[in-house]
Structures are given as structure tokens and as C-alpha cells.
Structure 1
Amino acid sequence: MRITRDLGSSHAWTLYEGELDGRRVFVKRGADFTSEAAGLRWLAEPGAVAVPEVIRSDGGELVLEWIEPANATAGAAERFGRELAALHGAGAAEFGAPWPGHIAELPMDNAPAPDWPSFYVERRVLPFVRSARDGGWLAAEDVKLIEEACALIPEVSGVAEPPSRIHGDLWSGNLLWTAERAVLIDPAAHGGHRETDLAMLALFGAPHLNTILAAYREAAPLADGWRERVPMHQLHPLLVHVCLYGEAYHGSLMSAVSQTLAL
């Protein structure tokens, strides 16, 4: 493989454009990409959404199909809404995944749980509460409020649904738009709740979000109260951002906690 261009760095790894057997490729180096490669392949299985082909994953290197980006369009967003609904509808065997979890450079526990509230609280929210507390970003009163919100989640999470096949970190930066459609990159894929992906799209404002949501809801209607539950599903990604970036996200996190407590 020949590296043709240095694309800088992201988190703990470096990024490159390269050429392998006459193909343009995207290369990541400097971390264990087992989770990312497994997640991309799993998301690709149903044929519902576009993800980059995993060409090679070994040691500290991940080689992916090169995707040529373009501006997001309303047509591509509408298509993505339908495709995301189909991905979620493909389902998962359980809440969790059979590979180790990662989000950015942070590890996550993907061990199965019997239901979604248990998985979300025990595998996603509370471990990052402890990390943020130990890092000095959460005071004792913050932790107490988050724990109170967690205790409510089984009651306020809506009608129980079977595990969906979700991306798990579907903020706008992990949607790579082409001329025809959206391509999903950098997953934290697992069997989870489909509202989690939708809440992540809203967190930092995906392009044409209303179009995506309208197409999604037409293909796969959502349970009553889904909009009110968005902050609950954002607790985990906001905690991740507190762990990574500190004080800058503390206010947003505690606002989501307050809204969850008000459900």
C-alpha cells in the first residue's frame, strides 16, 4: 500500500489517503480498530445503509474503501431516513454486541443485558459517570442527580421494543454525504434502542434533520413521547464529551439530566 496524502489526526490515531491494488483507500493508524471494523461489517450485513468496505484490519491499522464526499442534499437525507429505518428494523440478537465497545478512544462494555434500560444505565451511563467524577468534571451533587435520572429510566423509556441494529455514535460528523446518499462511518455499533441514533443525529444538528426524521417516521413510526425522550438518550454521548473535553459540556449534560428527571 502506498500512502498518498496525510489527512492529519483524530483522537489517538492518524489519518491518510492511500492506494492499494489500484484503489483509493482511507487509512487509520495508531489504535486497535477491532471494534470499528466489526461494527462496520455488522451494519453492512442487512444491506440497508451504506458503509465503507473494510478492506483490511490488523494490528494498529484499518484500511477502508475511499468515499468521495459531497454536500448533503434533501434527496439524500430523505433516502437516509428510509435506510436508517431499515437498518434498525434488521434488529439485533440482544442488547449489546459480541465485540469490545469503543467510542472515540474510550472503551465501553458491550456485554449483553436483559433489557434496554438495564443496558443503557449499566453499560453506557454509569461507567462514564464514574470516569467523569474521577476526572474531576462532576461534583457529588451532579452524580446524585444523574443517578436519580437513571433510576427513572425504566419507567420513562417508553414502550419496550426489541433490540435494534444501531450505529451507536450517529452524530453529524459520522455521516459522510455523497452525491446520492449518506455513508455511516466510525460506529459504536450494538444492539440498542433506535431512538438513540435519532437523538444523536439531533445532538449537534445533522443536515436536513427534519427531512431525515420525516422519512424515518413514514417508514417506521415512533412510539408516543419520542421527542421528549431525546435528552434521556443524549445522557451517554454528553457524558462521553465531558470525559473527553471536560467543563465545556457540563452544562449541556446537566440540562439533559434535568429534562430526563422531568419526564
Structure 2
Amino acid sequence: MAASTCVRAGEISPGHDSFTGSPSTADRLTGSVAVDGQRRHGGSSRDVRRGRPTLVCPCLPVVDGLSSGRLDQDEGVSSFRKGDHGEPDSVRFEAAGLRWLGEAPGGVAVAEVLSEGPGWLETARVHPGGATAAAAEQLGRALARTHAAGAPHLGCPPAGWTGDGFMGRAQLPLRGTPGPDSWGEFYAADRVLPYLAGAVANGAIDTAGERTVRRCADRLATGELDAPQPRLVTRPAARLHGDLWSGNVLWGERDGIVAATLIDPAAHGGHAESDLAQLGVFGAPHLDRVVAAYDEISPLAPGWRERVGLHQLHMLIVHAALFGGSYGRQTVRTAARYA
């Protein structure tokens, strides 16, 4: 969403609920997000939030082989079903991620997996409610506990998953065994460089921009930009949602209290600051309260504000590779700050 005030890169804008990678990031990204904030999966989360509890509708085709629809279960329990006939493993990976995230003691609620089959997944429907400041603070505290549940190593897949995963329509490199101890080396090799060729091929990043991204990756790989995990994360990696843009946070009522539920993860072991930074790429309600509450129970390492853009680079370059356009320019501008 377009920012009403310009702020220094990597800071929370006073009176505005998002981080920004640069003063113009939000304005530039707005033009690349489809109507109603639909991104990548055809806006399935928006469908859930708009849906009525008693409405039955068939599965409807959306983007890239994905389909989505609402179902009403027996005994009045409504659910949401999605499918991917182009890449059936992507919904299996999503289900594995939801279960893994859901195992975190005291962590954020995730969409409950009701059933799954080849190329489809059915989850319990979240009854919609508007985000509140109190709910945002609870999200921050619960997200800190999800991260604290940890992972055995950087790039670790969700429990029970083997092979690479998915972030939307893009492959997500995962490591079944430990790789680099340095977060920067891992991030450059597995979260930045794998998407560069696609962004160059579709014209989103030109030759000069490619050199800038590679310089940033080289600096990352030295470990110079590494920083400690937040205090509660004591394992080698944090347990990440991995695709935590605002559309993957549903605000719904449970027992009369508004709370967040996470959907559509690209779950893996990584650095906790990545999830927090991703929340700001497209703007999230009350983001300053989310981060403040997180920092209260699991203090972030000094300098975290200056690293926001760095942790947003993965999401930006994935979008540049998938969709081109202004995502490429924003990727290069962000990389240049750390090159």
C-alpha cells in the first residue's frame, strides 16, 4: 500500500504500518500487486476472508494451474479447499509447513489441515475479523515463540519433507543436511542467486543490475552482514513461515477475540528477521506493534532496522523472477545498499 510519508530505508514509518526498503518502495510495489492485494496464488486468502459461512461454491480456476474454492462440511463446519494441478507437490509442501509451524509451543495459530490428496489441500476456514492493535501485539509475541521452536540448520525443510520446496510458483532450495553455518553464505547461495537468472532472462534486471546483485551476494557470503538471532532462538536456525507477506496473515475471531492465523507457508529454517521483514514488503496492519511486542519477549539484535531491506531481498528477487517489472528495479536498489 502506498506510503503517505517518506522514511529512511529500513525504518517503520511513523503513523504507517509497514517497513520500507527505500522511501519509494511501497509506491512502486503497489503498481505490481493485483486488484484486492491478490498476489501469486490468485488471492485465495482474500476469498476466505470475504466468504460467508453458509456459502457453497465449486472450485474455481485461478492462476498458473491453481484452483480454489470454499466448501461447507457436514455439521456446519466450513472449510477452504485449494488445488494445484500444475505442481501437486506444492500443496503437499504447504501442508507439511502448516503442521510443522503448528507444532511450535505457544506459536502463531496456523490454518488447520483437514484433509489432503494429490494436488489438493483442505483447511479449516477462518471466520473473518478486522486486525486490531491488541491482535497485532499478540501476533508479535506468538511469532517470537514460533521462531524459538527452531530448526536443525539453515535451509532445513519442514519435518517429514524431502527435496526442495516452493515459494508460490518458484522452487525454494532446501537442505536435508547442514550446509553453511554463516547465514549470509546460505542466504546468498539459496535465497538470492538461484532467482537472478530468471530475473535477467525476463528483462526485470539488466546487466548492470545483475552485477550489483552479485556484489551484494559476494558480500553476504563473507559473513560480514551476519547478525545473531533474536534472544529466544537458541537452535541453529529459527522456524520460519518463509512467505510472510500480509496476505498470508488472516485476522479472524476465535471465542470473540481477534487473532492472527497464518496460511500458505514456505516453511524452512532461517533467520527470524526474514519473517519480520517480509511483513513489511506489501504493508501489514499495526506492523510497528507486531515488531515491538516481538522485541519485548525476544529482543532483536542491534542494528536490525538497517537489515530490513537485506531480509526483504529474497522476496523481491523471487517476484522479479516471476513477474518482472518494477520488482527488478527494487531488487537492484535494495541490493545496492548492501553491495
For Structure 1 versus Structure 2, the TM-score category normalised by the shorter chain is: over 0.9
Superposed CA deviations along residues 82-109 of structure 1, whole A, max 9, x for unmatched, are 0001111111111123433111111111
Residue matched to 1:152: 219
Residue matched to 2:79: 25
- Which of 57, 65, 69 is 1:12 aligned to? 65
Instruction: Report the Cα distance in structure 2 between the residues aligned to 1:93 and 1:17, rounded to whole angstroms.
Output: 36
3-state DSSP of counterpart to 1:249: helix
Is 1:258 aligned to 2:332, yes or no?
no
- Which of 223, 232, 244 is 1:170 aligned to? 244
Cα offset for 1:113?
2.3
Superposed CA deviations along residues 183-210 of structure 1, whole A, max 9, x for unmatched, are 1111010000000001101111110001
3-state DSSP of counterpart to 1:237: helix
Matched residue count: 259
| More strand as a share of residues | 1
Q: Normalization by structure 2: what TM-score?
A: 0.73
Q: Structure 2 matches for 1:189-200, cutoff 5 A?
A: 189-200=267-278
Instruction: Report the Cα distance in structure 1 between the residues aligned to 2:125 and 2:308, rounded to whole angstroms.
Output: 33
Instruction: Report the Cα distance in structure 2 between the residues aligned to 1:7 and 1:193, rounded to whole angstroms.
Output: 36
- Which of 174, 179, 192 is 1:110 aligned to? 174
Q: Structure 2 matches for 1:40-55, cutoff 5 A?
A: 40-47=98-105, 48-55=107-114
The change in CA–CA distance for 1:11 and 1:196 in structure 2 (over 3 A counts) is farther
The change in CA–CA distance for 1:247 and 1:30 in structure 2 (over 3 A counts) is same
Is 1:88 aligned to 2:166, yes or no?
no
Q: Runs ≥4 in structure 1, deviation > 4 angstroms?
A: none
3-state DSSP of counterpart to 2:171: strand
* Contact 1:125–1:235 (Cα < 8 Å) also in 2: yes
Is 1:224 aligned to 2:302, yes or no?
yes
* Contact 1:13–1:30 (Cα < 8 Å) also in 2: yes
Instruction: Report the Cα distance in structure 1 between the residues aligned to 2:133 and 2:59, rounded to whole angstroms.
Output: 28
* Contact 1:11–1:104 (Cα < 8 Å) also in 2: no
Bigger shift: residues 96-105 or 121-130: 96-105
Cα offset for 1:241?
1.0
* Contact 2:131–2:285 (Cα < 8 Å) also in 1: yes
Cα offset for 1:73?
0.4
Cα offset for 1:143?
1.2
Superposed CA deviations along residues 124-165 of structure 1, whole A, max 9, x for unmatched, are 110001221233322221111111101112201223673000
RMSD value, Cα = 1.7
Bigger shift: residues 104-113 or 164-173: 104-113
Instruction: Report the Cα distance in structure 2 between the residues aligned to 1:120 and 1:57, rounded to whole angstroms.
Output: 31
3-state DSSP of counterpart to 1:229: helix
Cα offset for 1:181?
0.9
Quick one: higher RCO (CA 8 Å, sep 6+), 1 or 2?
Answer: 2
* Contact 2:98–2:110 (Cα < 8 Å) also in 1: yes
- Which of 164, 182, 206 is 1:139 aligned to? 206
Amino acid of the residue matched to residue 157 of structure 1?
D
Cα offset for 1:11?
4.8
Is 1:182 aligned to 2:235, yes or no?
no
Instruction: Report the Cα distance in structure 2 between the residues aligned to 1:84 and 1:209, rounded to whole angstroms.
Output: 13
